[in-house]
Structure 1
Amino acid sequence: MPKLKHHFFLPEYINVFDLDQIYMTSSMWHDTGMKDTWATFDLLVRDMPKNRNFLVFTGLEEMVLGLKHFKFSDEQIRILLKWKLISKKFAGYLKKIKFNGDVKAMPEGTLFFPGEIVMRLTAPLIEGNLLTAFLITSLSSNTIFASKFIRSVIAAKPLNIIGPAPNRAHAFESALKAERSGFITGSMDCPSVIAREKMNLMHGDNATIAYHAFINSYATEKEAMETAAKYAKVDLSLMVDTYDYKQGIKNAIKVAEKLKKQGKKLKIVVDSGDLYKNAVFVRKELDKAGLKEVRITVASNLDEFKIKKLMDKKIPANTFIVSTEALTSSDDPRMEAVYKISEIIKPDGTVVNKMKLSPGKMSLPGRKQVYRQFKNDKMTSDIIGLEGEKKLGTPLLRPIFKKGKLLYDLPSVLAIRDYVKSQLEYLPKKYLAIETTYQYPVRVSPRLRRLITKTKKEIRGH
C-alpha cells in the first residue's frame, strides 16, 4: 500500500502547481535564447458574474507576498525534472530566479468592472509566465468572496453582518480567504480565531454561544442555558430553537434576567423556520419581559436576496449571519480571471504589441492604465487607455514593484475595510441594487482603439 500523504495545500506547492505547458514553454524559451526577452502581462476578470453590478478587488496582499518571495527550491526543481517538464539547463536558471519586474495594481478593495486590468506586470517573459496560476488564482479565489459578501452587507444596512464561518467551505484555505474578504467588505467580526490571528485583529466577539450541540448535551434546555450563563466570561448568545421556540424563549428570558444582574448581555439567535415570524415573536416576548436591550441575531442559509426580503418586511433583528451562501458564492461560483501578454520587449528594446483575436476572448495590446471619471463625487465611467494618457480621469493602477523592489506599504485589513466603505460612497446608488443589474460604462480610449486597429493589421499581415 502506498504511503498516505496529507491533503492540505502547503506554500511549497505553489510554484509547481500549474499546467505542464507553463514549465515546458518556459524551459523552451530559455533554451532557445529568449531568457532576456521581457513581456507585459495584464491580469483581469473577463466577465461579470451573475447578479453583480460591480466587483471588489481582493488578493493583492497575497500576490505581493508571493512576488516578494518568488523562488524555486531544490525540491520543486527536482519534481519538475522528474516529470521531464524542464531541461537540466533550465533547472540551473530556476535555482537563481527571483522576481525582477515592475508591477502596477489597483489598491486592494478597489471597486472594478470586467475587462479592467487590476494588475499589470512587466518582467522577463519566463518569470511572468511562471506566475500564471499563482496570480490568476490569487485574484479569483479572493475577489469572488468579496464581491459576493459585500452584497449582503449592502442588503442589511443599517444592520450588521457576521460571517462567513469556516464550516461548509470547499476547503480550509477557501474558508480563510472568505473570512478575510468578508471582514474587508463589512463583516463586524471574523468567526474563527485563526483568521483574527492572521489578520492581526485585536479583538473579536467573545460571547459564549450555547448552540444546538451544547443544549442537546444536557438533560434539559433550561439546565444547558443556565450552565452557559454561569460560565460565560463576557456575554452570552443563545439558540432558542433546539426543541421549541416558545419554550426556548421562556427559558432564555429567565437566563437574561440573571445575566442582567451580573452586568452581562444576552443575544438570541433565530436560526430556523419562518425567520421573520420567529424574530417578531422573540422580540415581542423579550419586550414584554422588559428586556429591550437583548439583541436578536438571524441565521439560516442567508444571502443578499433573503436578507433584502427580511429588511423589506422590517424584521426586528440586529444582526444577520451569512455563511454557506457566501462561502460558495452560491448564485454564481464562477469568476473567469485571465492573464494575457499585451507586449513583448526584445533584448534590443524593440516593443512588439500583442493581442488575442479570438471571438469573445479578445485581449488588448500595449501597456495600459485604467482611468476613473467622477462628477459631483460620484463615479460616472471608466476608460481603459494607454499608460501616460492625459485628461482621461484618475489612474487606478499604482506602482507596487519597480525592478523587483517593493515600493508599496501593504495596508492593514482595517485600512482596506475603510477604503472599501469609502469606495461605496462614490458608487451611484443604482449599482447598489440587489435584484436589478446595471452595466457600468467602461470604454476604450481613442489612442488605444487606434493601437488595436494597428496591432490587428500587423498580426493578420504575417
Structure 2
Amino acid sequence: MSETTTTDLYEVTMAMSYLREGMHAPATFSLFVRELPPGRGFLVAAGLEPALGYLSRFRITSDDVREFARVLHRAPGALADLLDLRFKGEVRAVPEGRLVFAGEPLLEVTAPLAQAQLVETYLLTQMCHQTAVASKAARCVVAARGRPLWDFSLRRAHGPQAGLQAARLGALVGFAGTSNVAAAAELGIPASGTMAHSYVQAFASEEDAFRAFARAHPGPLTFLVDTYDTEAGVMAAARVLGDLRRGPGCAIRLDSGDLGALARQSRSLLDAAGLRDVQIIASGGLDEYAVASLVRSGAPIDVFAVGTRVGVAADAPYLDAAYKLVAYDGDPVMKLSSAKVTAPAAKQVFRRPGCRDVIALLDEEPPGDAEPLLTTVMRDGERTGPPGSLAAARARFEADLAQLPASAHRIEAPEAPLPAASARLRALTTEVRGRIQAALAAGPGTNARGRRS
C-alpha cells in the first residue's frame, strides 16, 4: 500500500478541483486538538518525526494516479493534473516531547492549496495516535515517581506499526526499555523479556523451569513466579538464585492477583533467603491509575511493566483533533460551524513560566518572559535540520513537566491549563467573523473570505 494513497478520498477529489480551477496560491492549515480528553491535564506532542519523513517522501506517481482513478471510476487521464505532485511547502511545528494544551497548533502547514490538502489525513493519523499514546505513557511516568517503567504493549497493540510507535513513545517520555525486539533494534533502546507462563508449564515443576532457564542464559535472570502458587514460585526462585549465587540484577515478576499484597509477601520471602538485592517487577493490566495506587500503598515494587492499556491509550484512545484551513492566498479564514469554530490566520504559541501559554498571530512578538513553541522544521519540502533524537525529546518533556502546575500533574481529576488568546488574535477573529457574516447576509456571489485590514 502506497503512503500517498493512504488518504481519505475527499482529499483527492478536492485537490483535483483545486488544480483544475487554478487555485495554486499558498494555504495554511493548522492541526490542533479542540479539547483534551477527560482525565488529561496535558498532552505530549509526538508523531512529528514520522510526519516529516512522510512529507519528505510525498510524491504522486503514475501507480498512485491509477489507484485514485480506479476507486473514482475515472480514466487515469482525467487525473493527469495530480501526476508527479510533490510536497514543496513549509511546516512549523511544536517539537516532540513538549507539552501542549487545547487549541494550540501542534503543527501548521503552508503550501500550495492542493499539496496542503492532500497530506491532511496522513498527518492526522501520525500526530493524533502518537500524541495520545505518548500522553498516556507520560502519565505512567508521573505515577511511578521515579521507578523504572518498561513497555510490554506489542502483543495487544493495534498492529505491529502501532506497537513500534508505542515503544518509541515510551522511550520518548523516559521508559527504561521495551519487550519489542524490532523497536529495540531500530531505535537503539534496551530490550527486556524472559519467560511466559507457558514456559513454566512446559516443565515438570517451576524449579525445573527456572534451572533450565538459568542454564540457557547467563543473566541477570528474571523468573515469573505466579504460574501456580505465588508463594511457592517465589521460594523456588529463591532456591535457584541462592544455589547459583545469582543475586544482583536478578528479579522475580508478578503478573496477576493483588500485586501490592503479593509484592509484600514476596519481598519478605526474598529477604529471608538473603536475596535483598533481587528486585520485584510487576505487570498485568497496569496503567497510571494502578501504578499510582501501588506507589501510594508503599508496595515494594521496583519496576513496573505496562502494556495493553498504555499501548492503546485505553481510557482516551483518540483525540478530538482537526486540520483546518486558517489562511488562503493572503486572506485569514475561519469556520463558524456550531461548536467547531476555528481561529483565523497562521499562529504562534508563546509559553510563559508555569505553562501559562498565549496563542498569538505568527508575526507577533513574544512577551518578555515567554518563548515560542512552534519552530520551522521544513521549508520548500526539505527538512531544515537532521531528525530529532529521542534523548532531545525526552529532555524537552522533562523540562516542561517540571514547570507544569501540580493540578495538571494529578492522576485523578487533573485540571489542564487553559491557553489565552492574544489581543490581536481576538481582534482578528472578531473582524473575520464579521466579514463572513456580512457576506452571508449580502447574499450569493459575495466573497466570504475575510481579509486582514
The TM-score bracket by the shorter chain reads over 0.9
Instruction: Specify the SS of the correspondent of 1:167.
Output: helix
Which residue of 141, 145, 165 maps to 2:153?
A: 165
- Whether 2:15 is the aligned partner of 1:16: answer no
Which residue of 322, 339, 343 maps to 1:360?
A: 339
Moved >4 Å (runs of 4+): 85-90
- Whether 2:162 is the aligned partner of 1:155: answer no
Q: Deviations over 1:276-327 (max 9, x none)?
A: 1110010000001110000000111011111111111100110011101112
Any conservation in 2 of the 1:31–1:90 contact (CA below 8 Å)? no
Which residue of 174, 189, 211 maps to 2:196?
A: 211
Name 1:117's counterpart in structure 2.
Answer: 105
Q: Deviations over 1:337-382 (max 9, x none)?
A: 210000101xxxxx221100112111110111111111xxx33x11
Aligned runs of 1:327-406 on 2, under 5 Å? 327-345=311-329, 351-374=330-353, 378-379=354-355, 381-392=356-367, 393-406=370-383
Name 2:240's counterpart in structure 1.
Answer: 255
Which residue of 414, 435, 442 maps to 1:437?
A: 414
Name 2:182's counterpart in structure 1.
Answer: 194
- Whether 2:92 is the aligned partner of 1:93: answer no
Structure 1 pair 47–87 and aligned structure 2 pair: CA distance change class (3 A): farther
Structure 1 pair 391–414 and aligned structure 2 pair: CA distance change class (3 A): closer
Name 2:442's counterpart in structure 1.
Answer: none
Letter in structure 1 aligned against 2:297: K
Separation in structure 1 between the aligned mates of residue 400 and residue 333 of structure 2, nearest angstrom: 33
Separation in structure 2 between the aligned mates of residue 88 and residue 307 of structure 1, nearest angstrom: 55
Name 2:205's counterpart in structure 1.
Answer: 220
Separation in structure 1 between the aligned mates of residue 20 and residue 135 of structure 2, nearest angstrom: 42
Name 1:6's counterpart in structure 2.
Answer: none
Q: Deviations over 1:198-245 (max 9, x none)?
A: 2133x434x6x1321110011111111110111113311111111111
Q: Deviations over 1:134-167 (max 9, x none)?
A: 1111111111100111111110112111114301
Letter in structure 2 aligned against 1:228: F
Any conservation in 1 of the 2:153–2:310 contact (CA below 8 Å)? no
Note the residue ranges of structure 2 that are not aligned, 5 or more in a row: 440-453
- Whether 2:398 is the aligned partner of 1:421: answer yes
Instruction: Specify the SS of the correspondent of 1:107.
Output: coil
- Further displaced range: 389-398 or 442-451: 389-398
Note the residue ranges of structure 1 that are not aligned, 5 or more in a row: 1-9, 346-350
Any conservation in 2 of the 1:164–1:182 contact (CA below 8 Å)? no
- Whether 2:173 is the aligned partner of 1:185: answer yes
Deviation at 1:85, TM superposition (A): 6.8
Any conservation in 2 of the 1:152–1:307 contact (CA below 8 Å)? yes
Name 2:225's counterpart in structure 1.
Answer: 240
- Whether 2:85 is the aligned partner of 1:108: answer no
| Identical columns (%) | 30
Separation in structure 2 between the aligned mates of residue 265 and residue 153 of structure 1, nearest angstrom: 22
Any conservation in 2 of the 1:211–1:238 contact (CA below 8 Å)? no
Separation in structure 2 between the aligned mates of residue 450 and residue 86 of structure 1, nearest angstrom: 46
Separation in structure 2 between the aligned mates of residue 200 and residue 301 of structure 1, nearest angstrom: 26
Separation in structure 1 between the aligned mates of residue 365 and residue 171 of structure 2, nearest angstrom: 36
Structure 1 pair 177–459 and aligned structure 2 pair: CA distance change class (3 A): same
Name 1:5's counterpart in structure 2.
Answer: none
Separation in structure 2 between the aligned mates of residue 193 and residue 248 of structure 1, nearest angstrom: 27
Instruction: Specify the SS of the correspondent of 2:4.
Output: helix
Separation in structure 2 between the aligned mates of residue 58 and residue 226 of structure 1, nearest angstrom: 43
- Further displaced range: 330-339 or 87-96: 87-96
Letter in structure 1 aligned against 2:357: D
- Whether 2:214 is the aligned partner of 1:229: answer yes
Deviation at 1:174, TM superposition (A): 1.5
Separation in structure 1 between the aligned mates of residue 436 and residue 231 of structure 2, nearest angstrom: 73
TM-score, with normalisation over the residues of structure 2? 0.93
Separation in structure 2 between the aligned mates of residue 305 and residue 157 of structure 1, nearest angstrom: 13
Deviation at 1:391, TM superposition (A): 3.6
Letter in structure 2 aligned against 1:182: G
Q: CA RMSD in A?
A: 1.7
Q: Deviations over 1:98-135 (max 9, x none)?
A: 11111110111110001100101110000010001011
Q: Deviations over 1:373-418 (max 9, x none)?
A: 11xxx33x11111012124321110011122232132222222222
- Whether 2:8 is the aligned partner of 1:31: answer no
Separation in structure 2 between the aligned mates of residue 249 and residue 326 of structure 1, nearest angstrom: 28
Structure 1 pair 54–382 and aligned structure 2 pair: CA distance change class (3 A): same
- Further displaced range: 77-86 or 20-29: 77-86
Deviation at 1:90, TM superposition (A): 6.3
Name 1:268's counterpart in structure 2.
Answer: 252
- Whether 2:258 is the aligned partner of 1:281: answer no
Separation in structure 1 between the aligned mates of residue 311 and residue 322 of structure 2, nearest angstrom: 22
Instruction: Specify the SS of the correspondent of 1:297.
Output: strand
Separation in structure 2 between the aligned mates of residue 17 and residue 217 of structure 1, nearest angstrom: 44
Aligned runs of 1:121-136 on 2, under 5 Å? 121-136=109-124
| Number of positions where the alignment pairs a residue of Structure 1 with one of Structure 2 | 437
Any conservation in 2 of the 1:31–1:89 contact (CA below 8 Å)? no
Letter in structure 2 aligned against 1:108: E
Letter in structure 2 aligned against 1:439: A
Letter in structure 1 aligned against 2:264: V
Deviation at 1:181, TM superposition (A): 0.9
- Further displaced range: 86-95 or 298-307: 86-95
Instruction: Specify the SS of the correspondent of 2:386.
Output: coil
Separation in structure 2 between the aligned mates of residue 112 and residue 401 of structure 1, nearest angstrom: 20
Letter in structure 2 aligned against 1:369: Q
Structure 1 pair 282–89 and aligned structure 2 pair: CA distance change class (3 A): same
Name 2:309's counterpart in structure 1.
Answer: 325
